[in-house]
């Protein structure tokens, strides 16, 4: 047997699972062997334990095999460490969720015993709490997908100034006292804003997703000076903001508007909470953004669509200015100059799996085939050049 490799039986024994389980995950395409010998022996390596751990953990946490198949499975040290941190975060949320369920069950049972009647409104409340489990799973998937996309850009961008660094540098905080970000995601922007800015201003970091707000707060909480002095976190829908008129000098929406049901309503709300002389910074993509990735997956399987709708058609660099000028008197577009040169298949595959389309349905059980396809494309020219077309609109009254 080759040194450093395990047979299916050895691998299963070391992992304390059955060979049947390993073979099942192999057939499903979840955990393919690292090597297949001419005699048919299927061989695994230490790195495959990382993949198995993630599969078993996610299955335990409530993910279906179909969902797991559609998720990134990076096995380098950084990916494994990040995956473990995300799993820990999800487990902590689930513990809090189970504690809430336990208290609600006890309270409801006590009321039934005392009154000998069933309060059906409390039963409905229990149903709602139980269904929160699905929301936790969705929050985990969202966090993973955001990190995968940021990771691809940070590793393979040609421009040495990252998107978030560039965006932070384009926002003029000089005269601002109160700042609002809507749709904060994981809070990455504020890791690139100087401490002297965040520490001397009143900054609200918001998102419509409670899970994303919690993740952003946890992510930024490691820098206690900023969290204590400047950053405050709140769940907010930018289509219905809770602040009074004229509350902010700056509002920021980074790649947010094209996800909204009613963009004009959100713009009117943002305009309302801005003070006279305030500035709204919003970013978006253009039609050519990442077009080569779409071409790649279409070549592999024409049934794949990476997005249910083209986001740039809803609010993009081509049509955004006209939409903004209906609400703001002065709108200026600033483009970010960059492209990707990707020379590794795995991060590119993870990015594709993180998209919002139907790719999981067609790539889930064809991961290895798709990886080989990408490796072949990379080998042709040493890498794949991917267009980036992004920028911001700077809006004033």
- 113-124 confidence digits (pLDDT tens): 777 776 666 666
Tokens 């955004």 belong to 320
At 66-77, the pLDDT tens digits run 777 766 666 555
List, in sequence order, every residue forming a beta bridge with 387; answer none if it has no partner. 339
At 39-91, the pLDDT tens digits run 888 899 888 888 888 888 777 777 777 777 766 666 555 566 656 666 676 67
Of 31-35, 102-106, 243-247, where does mean pLDDT reach its minimum? 102-106
Res 362 pLDDT > 60: yes
Cβ of 176: how many Cβ atoms within 10 Å?
Answer: 19
User: Do the Cβ atoms of 22 and 8 come closer than 8 Å?
Assistant: yes
To the nearest 10°, report the CA torsion of 17, 19, 21, 26. Answer: 130
Res 316 pLDDT > 80: yes
User: Exposed, middle or buried, 41 (CB in 10 Å: 0-12/13-18/19+)?
Assistant: middle
Helix residue ranges, H only, 38-76 = 46-60, 65-69
Res 228 pLDDT > 60: no
CA distance linking residue 212 with residue 216, whole number of Å = 6
Could you tell me which residue, 114 or 33, shows the higher pLDDT?
Answer: 33
pTM (whole model) above 0.85: no
* Section 327-352 average pLDDT: 93
Mean pLDDT computed over every residue of the chain: 84
How confident is the model at residue 138, as a pLDDT? 61
At 258-275, the pLDDT tens digits run 999 999 999 999 999 999
């Amino acid at each position: 047997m080759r040194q450093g490799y395990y047979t299916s039986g050895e691998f299963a024994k070391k992992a304390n699972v059955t060979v049947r389980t390993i073979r099942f995950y192999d057939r499903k395409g979840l955990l393919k062997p690292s090597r297949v010998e001419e005699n048919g022996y299927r061989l695994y390596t230490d790195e495959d334990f990382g993949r198995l751990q993630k599969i078993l953990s996610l299955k335990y946490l409530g993910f279906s095999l179909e969902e797991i198949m559609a998720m990134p499975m990076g096995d380098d040290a950084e990916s494994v460490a990040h995956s473990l941190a995300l799993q820990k975060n999800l487990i902590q949320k689930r513990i809090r969720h189970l504690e809430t369920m336990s208290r609600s069950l006890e309270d409801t049972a006590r009321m039934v015993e005392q009154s000998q009647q069933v309060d059906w409104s409390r039963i409905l409340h229990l149903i709602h709490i139980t269904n929160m489990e699905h929301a936790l799973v969705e929050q985990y998937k969202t966090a993973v997908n955001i990190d995968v996309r940021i990771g691809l850009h940070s590793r393979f961008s040609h421009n040495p100034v990252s998107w978030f660094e560039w965006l932070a540098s384009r926002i003029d905080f000089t005269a601002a006292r109160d700042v609002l970000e809507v749709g904060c995601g994981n809070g990455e922007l504020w890791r690139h804003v100087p401490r002297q800015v965040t520490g001397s201003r009143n900054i609200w970091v918001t998102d419509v997703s409670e899970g994303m707000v919690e993740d952003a707060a946890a992510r930024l909480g490691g820098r206690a000076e900023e969290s204590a002095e400047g950053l405050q976190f709140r769940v907010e829908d930018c289509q219905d903001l809770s602040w009074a008129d004229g509350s902010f000098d700056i509002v920021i929406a980074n790649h947010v508007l094209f996800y909204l049901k009613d963009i004009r309503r959100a713009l009117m709300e943002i305009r309302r909470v801005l003070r006279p002389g305030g500035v709204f910074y919003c970013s978006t993509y253009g039609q050519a953004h990442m077009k080569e990735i779409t071409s790649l997956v279409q070549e592999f399987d024409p049934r794949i669509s990476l997005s249910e709708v083209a986001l740039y058609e809803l609010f993009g660099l081509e049509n955004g200015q006209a939409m903004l000028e209906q609400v703001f008197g002065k709108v200026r577009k600033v483009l970010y100059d960059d492209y990707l040169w990707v020379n590794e298949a795995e991060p590119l595959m993870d990015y594709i799996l993180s998209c919002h389309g139907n790719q999981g349905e067609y790539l889930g059980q064809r991961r290895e085939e798709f990886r080989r396809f990408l490796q072949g494309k990379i080998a042709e020219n040493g890498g794949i050049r991917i267009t980036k077309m992004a920028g911001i609109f700077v809006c004033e009254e």
